[in-house]
Amino acid sequence: MTTTLTTFPTEAADRLRRGGLVGFPTETVYGLGADAFQPEAVKRIFEAKGRPADNPLIVHVRRREQIGQVAATIPAAAEPLLERFLPGPLTIILPRHPELPSVITAGLDTVGVRMPGLPLTQRFLAACDTPVPAPSANRSGRPSPTTWEAVQDDLGGRIDCILQGGQTEAGVESTVVDCTTEPVEVLRPGAVSVEALRDVLGAVRTESSTEASALRSPGTRHRHYAPAAEVRLVEDPSETEPGPKHAYIGLDAPAPPDAFGAVFVEPDLEAYAHDLFHVFRTCDEKGFEIIYAQTVPPTGLGRALNDRLRRAAAR
Ligand code: TXA
Ligand code: MG
């Protein structure tokens, strides 16, 4: 299959409405979408990615009214989150609408709903005029794509169309919050910080690393975000070993920087998150063998960054 590249959201939406798979940008990472109400098309998302069928998809909507097509009810705890964070990089888990095809939710009785904030995504979703289930547009296990070229590298020839936007702003995925429990629980740390959620809601549980939430958020069970190179986590750059096929990314500079194949010193957490997956893919293109990645203080965006780093380093 040839994968059409387009900068026109209406053209990409037209492909989706005709049953196609479309890669599209959001403010977090690129997604791979289909029409929620064409289950055969949704099934092809799993095939194209090599994604296990037990890993549910989050559904993207343009307008608040569309949530009613996807979810059965909106629990009280979800209301302030909708008000404050949507549109934006937050996914809320709600009770599933009985008519939503079960291939999307992998048989669960809940559904993840996300309303992206990027204007290009909004134009695309408006033209689709249907809810759009979409995981990140990478081959399963690989780093999430932050550019359309990365989508093409992973899925070119396997999907119908790519909507070409710029490099994504956040670089790390949405925060996934389960609103069907009291208090709500963060199942995946992401671009919206736990501190920001607590400001709005007060109590928020965070057990993203525990067995229980790993079971409830099936995607967190699998190895993830991994480049071909081995990722080694360091707290301090002095723990690294320089070499021409070794790369480094972190907030503090290693010494001597010239002894590495590539060094990425990030000015702050936002820049680190923005660059991380892109750096992983760049290092693979250059054939590097080891990527040293510095862990960060576990507050704000640091929680999401450490989570992605740990998963990328898992063997
Ligand atoms: O930023 C993002 O969230 C991106 C963009 C494209 O929107 N999407 C994304 O999707 O990261 P994906 O499929 O790569 O990650 C979604 C995560 C997975 O870990 C999945 O298991 C979890 O959300 N999830 C989806 N539906 C769920 C549900 N009903 N209950 C618990 N976890 C769910
Ligand atoms: Mg993903």
Q: What is the CB < 6 Å shell around ligand 1?
A: 26, 28-29, 31, 55-58, 91, 93, 105, 108, 110-112, 114, 134-136, 173-174, 176, 187-188, 216-220
**Contact (CB, 8 A) for 174 and 28:** yes
Query: At residue 46, does pLDDT exceed 50?
Result: yes
With residue 248 as reference, give the H or E element that holds it: strand 243-250
Q: Candidates 32, 85, 91: which one to mutate for ligand 1, based on the most atoms within 8 Å of Cβ? A: 91
Tell me what pLDDT residue 225 has: 85
d(CA 211, CA 128): 37
Q: How confident is the model at residue 301 (pLDDT cuts 50, 70, 90)?
A: very high
Q: Residue 52 CA: which ligand is closest?
A: 1
Whole-angstrom CA distances from 290 to 116, 229, 269, 312 are: 34, 5, 22, 12
Q: What is the pLDDT of residue 155?
A: 98
Residues with Cβ < 8 Å from 119, sequence gap 6 or more?
Answer: none
- pLDDT greater at residue 113 or residue 208: 113
Q: What are 192-196's contacts with CB under 8 Å, separation 24+?
A: 192/85, 192/88, 192/89, 192/90, 193/299, 193/300, 193/301, 193/303, 193/304, 194/303, 195/299, 195/300, 196/85
Is-contact 299 194, C-beta < 8 A?
A: no
pLDDT score recorded for residue 183: 94
Among 102, 185, 217, say which to mutate for ligand 1: greatest number of ligand atoms within 8 Å of CB: 217
Q: Residue 44 and residue 126: Cα distance in Å, rounded?
A: 22
* pLDDT at 211 exceeding the cut of 50: no
Mean pLDDT of the chain: 94
Q: How far apart are CA 122 and CA 87, in angstroms?
A: 9
What pLDDT was estimated at residue 213? 47
Please identify, by atom number, the ligand 1 atom nearest to the C-alpha of residue 136: 14
Q: What pLDDT, on the 0 to 100 scale, is given for residue 224?
A: 80
Average pLDDT on 81-91 reads: 97
* Triad 230, 149, 251: Cα angle to 5°: 45
Cα 163 to ligand 2 centre (Å): 18
Distance from Cα 133 to the centre of ligand 1, integer Å:
10
Which-ligand-closest: CA of 109? 1
Q: What is the structure's pLDDT at 210?
A: 46
Domains and CATH numbers, the chain: 4-215 (3.90.870.10), 230-313 (3.40.50)
What would the mean pLDDT of 214-225 be, rounded to a whole number?
59
Nearest to 78 by CA among 173, 204, 191: 204
**Residue 81 pLDDT grade (very low, low, confident, very high; cuts 50, 70, 90):** very high
Looking at residue 219, its pLDDT comes to 56
What pLDDT, on a 0 to 100 scale, did the predictor assign at position 223? 65
- Percent of the chain past pLDDT 90, that is, above it, reads 92
What pLDDT, on a 0 to 100 scale, did the predictor assign at position 217? 55
Q: What is the dihedral of CA 48, 51, 52, 53, to 10 degrees?
A: -60
Measure the CA–CA gap between 116 and 204, rounded to whole angstroms: 22
Which has the closest alpha carbon to 175: 206, 202, 147, 144? 206
pLDDT tens for each residue of 229-278: 999 999 999 999 999 999 999 999 998 989 999 999 999 999 999 999 99
Is a pLDDT exceeding 70 seen at residue 215? Answer: no
Mean pLDDT of the 207-219 span: 52
Q: Do residues 134 and 55 make contact, with C-beta atoms less than 8 angstroms apart? A: no
Cα separation of 228 and 251, whole Å? Answer: 23
For position 315, what pLDDT does the model report? 74
Q: What is the per-residue DSSP string for 58-77?
A: EEE-SSGGGHHHHBS---TT
